[in-house]
Structure 1
């Protein structure tokens, strides 16, 4: 038996109206489905004690990480506040651990991209990920007319947080895109396509994984690892942290500053140049 179908449908619509990302809508609704199924009651009947026991269940039996627990509690709180219940008000999400971004070296990134040179679409995708720092969802949402080859910019429309922004294309990325589009019969619509239509994030993740393997990279490489690699490389080469923030589409510079902690060799180099001479 399922519970809270009406409330969950309305909650999903509310999240969409609030311009929450597709990922957040899907994740929060999944979280609410799980808690309703576990407690086994309609939302209005669920109490603070029910949710306290559910939190303990996730922490002890399911062994949720701090980050998973944080997201789950935020989703639960959002739902119960939406239906006008105070049942989730006693739930306190744990502080999320600050995980260092995973990235690959410039040599590995070069090998990864070059391994796709024989496939125009895949080569253009890897160029875009490696040289723009786009999120995979942003890359998949691009249309042909979002890329201005003459001005060498791409407009990201309603990225994360419902913010538009501009990212820069280097010459090699422009050339890769032109070569790919020149091989297509359809010059409008989605920028990256498969035989079935617009490419999906899962397909892009598979592309990155396969070419990383072809390039002999033993690390786990994902589109987000390439985003981290882009940011870390810019920082290492002297880019201002505020420029990196704009290129990545971070609303807070605090999010971008995590990259200042990841490169020990860079920190040592800067320290040696800047340390006091007492």
Structure 2
């Protein structure tokens, strides 16, 4: 069995997303093109040298970690080799994500003129959802009694819960009245699920009407949700859970985007 075929078989068995499977295949194939060895002859030193070469070429820490995870998956989980390569590269991006202030979020929502679109934009922000997660919500995923909803098969094919904001509970209930629980929550005038590009246009149009001088997209609202939680003194672990991040490292970025005066850690020098 070839390398790519073996990765696809094992990763599919573990219910990895198609995107992750293709990424792992590409990473491992590129490694073997560079290494020019049979898998059984590959050593830890080979992997270290490959990753160091990537670092020297200016590849980001996030990219290098993806390659490392792909190689570990292949050697440890498929070939069953004791192949512990315990190195990590910084994931902090060179460019921090664009976020909206709380005032800008309010202006964006207020300038979304279509009633259903307004609910979509408000829910994106209030629950910190990804665009695909919002569009794949079904009526059965909302638990109004307990005031939370379920994201089914989100990124990494993981389920998680999200908050239903009190301000949105009534309008979401109205949107649900008399409908089949298996239906998607948001459907367009053609009785079809909205596309991600349609959602992008909704957000962009509202941003222009609101006079927001930033390049924004649906994911901007998720970044803003997380940043505002940090500013409201929520812990990284709490935000990590709500965002569905596998690692706290991915959530730490929002410490950088939060307003500095809202980060509650003080220097020990101030206590001398």
User: Hey, what's the Cα distance between the residues in 2 that align with 1:9 and 1:98?
Assistant: 33
User: Aligned partners of 2:212 and 2:237: how far apart in 1?
Assistant: 31
Query: Match of 1:221?
Result: 216
Structure 1 CA distance for aligned equivalents of residues 240 and 54 of structure 2: 35
Unaligned segments of structure 1, at least 5 residues: none
- What is residue 266 of structure 1 aligned with on the other side? 262
Query: What secondary structure does 1:167 align onto?
Result: strand
Q: Report what 1:110 is aligned to.
A: 106
Q: Give RMSD over aligned pairs.
A: 4.2
SS in structure 1 opposite 2:263? Answer: helix
**Match among 127, 143, 148 for residue 143 of structure 2:** 148
Provide TM-score, normalisation by structure 2. Answer: 0.71
Shift in alpha-carbon separation, 1:54–1:239, aligned structure 2, 3 A = closer
Following TM superposition, by how much is the alpha carbon of 1:43 offset from its aligned partner in structure 2, in angstroms? 6.6
1:64 aligns with 2:94: no
Mapped to 2, the partners of 1:128 and 1:165 lie a distance apart of: 16
Give the superposition deviation at 1:83: 4.6
Shift of 1:266: 1.6
- Residue from 119, 127, 147 that aligns with 1:132: 127
Equivalent residue, structure 2, for 1:10: 6
Pairs aligned (count): 265
Q: Which residue of 1 aligns with 2:23?
A: 27
Give the secondary structure class of the aligned counterpart of 1:166.
strand
- State the SS of the aligned residue for 2:63: helix
Deviations 1:198-220 (A, max 9, x none): 44555544543443344332323
Secondary structure, aligned partner of 2:161: strand
Q: Which runs of 5+ in 2 are unaligned?
A: none
Structure 1 CA distance for aligned equivalents of residues 193 and 219 of structure 2:
20
Aligned to 1:169: 164
Deviations 1:155-201 (A, max 9, x none): 2235456654332212332344345556x987633223455844455
Matched-pair contact (CA < 8 Å) for 2:62–2:90? yes
